[in-house]
Amino acid sequence: MGQIILEVALGGLLALATTVWLEWLRLPKLRLEISVPDDQDHSSHSRPANYARFLLVSLVNKPLPLLLRWLQRNPALSARATITYHREHDDSPLFGRPNHARWAGSDEPLAMIGRVWNMPASLHDPNKLRRESVVDVYPGESAPFAIAARFDDDIDSYAWSNENYHSQPKWRAPHWRIKPGRYVVKVSISSYGGRCSRSYRLIADGSIGAFRLEEMPTKRRRTRHLFRRKTT
């Protein structure tokens, strides 16, 4: 009798452990990676800049291994990207608050222009105006967002968010100005189902063609020697 109870208990524990393991596998597996800069030519359009370079990072939700894809990994829902900017030499913050990144491809937070009673009027969508931008990232897909942007022959660059569309001057938000130099940007992702973070070096002290992001070198772990060999 005791052996039967033990076998039932072990079977239940095994089933529970298997269920927990499968649910763990289905959680979003997120990583951040640098994307190719987005160079835009607006010279033929009426835009705040004729030429723009946006430095992009992409959030990737890795798919399950081929043999396990019948499980269908969960999407990262309502993913938000928060960025902080730091001076490279002392890691001090460049701005007084973090930047809520804008996902590329999101609707531009611009007003719809029309006429009411033969008078010009503008209608704002509050969902587009909100500071935070969210996106759902499904397994095997990625979603890019801009870390910073630079325009025309400007020597300064700018952190990029929805706020830049309502700044004066447009796109060049004074409170997001980045002077020429080298900085460290720290990106943090939060979503329903997963989190991740990573740091990059922002190179903003050269021409617009040299304006770029670089991977931060990984720090080697130092091992402590608990026992040292005595020399004679």
Asked whether residue 85 is assigned to any structural domain, the reply reads: yes
Closest CA to 201 of 60, 79, 91: 91
Asked whether residue 51 is assigned to any structural domain, the reply reads: yes
Asked whether residue 111 is assigned to any structural domain, the reply reads: no
Asked whether residue 228 is assigned to any structural domain, the reply reads: no
How far, in Å, CA of 174 to CA of 153, rounded?
A: 17
pLDDT of residue 11: 60
Q: Could you list the mean pLDDT of each consecutive 10-residue stretch along the chain, which spans 232 residues? A: 65 60 68 97 90 97 76 89 96 96 80 47 45 86 97 96 91 96 97 93 94 83 44 42
pTM of this prediction? 0.78
Asked whether residue 92 is assigned to any structural domain, the reply reads: yes
Helix (H, G, I), strand (E, B) or coil at 140: coil
Asked whether residue 126 is assigned to any structural domain, the reply reads: no
- Non-local (6+) Cβ contacts of 182 within 8 A are 88, 201, 202, 203, 204, 205
Q: What is the CATH number of the domain that holds 38?
A: 2.60.40.10
Residue 65's domain comprises: 26-104+133-215
How far, in Å, CA of 68 to CA of 56, rounded?
A: 31
pLDDT of residue 123: 41
Asked whether residue 14 is assigned to any structural domain, the reply reads: no
Return the amino acid letter for 42: H
Query: Which secondary structure element, helix H or strand E, spans residue 35, and what is its range?
Result: none
Asked whether residue 182 is assigned to any structural domain, the reply reads: yes
pLDDT of residue 68: 66
Query: What is the count of structural domains for the chain?
Result: 1
Tokens, residue 173 = 């938000």
pLDDT of residue 73: 84
Closest CA to 69 of 26, 20, 19, 30: 26
Return the amino acid letter for 185: V
Q: What is the DSSP string of 74-124?
A: PPEEEEEEEEEEEETTT--BSSSS-EEPPBTTSPP--PEEEEETTEEEEE-
How far, in Å, CA of 177 to CA of 81, rounded?
A: 19
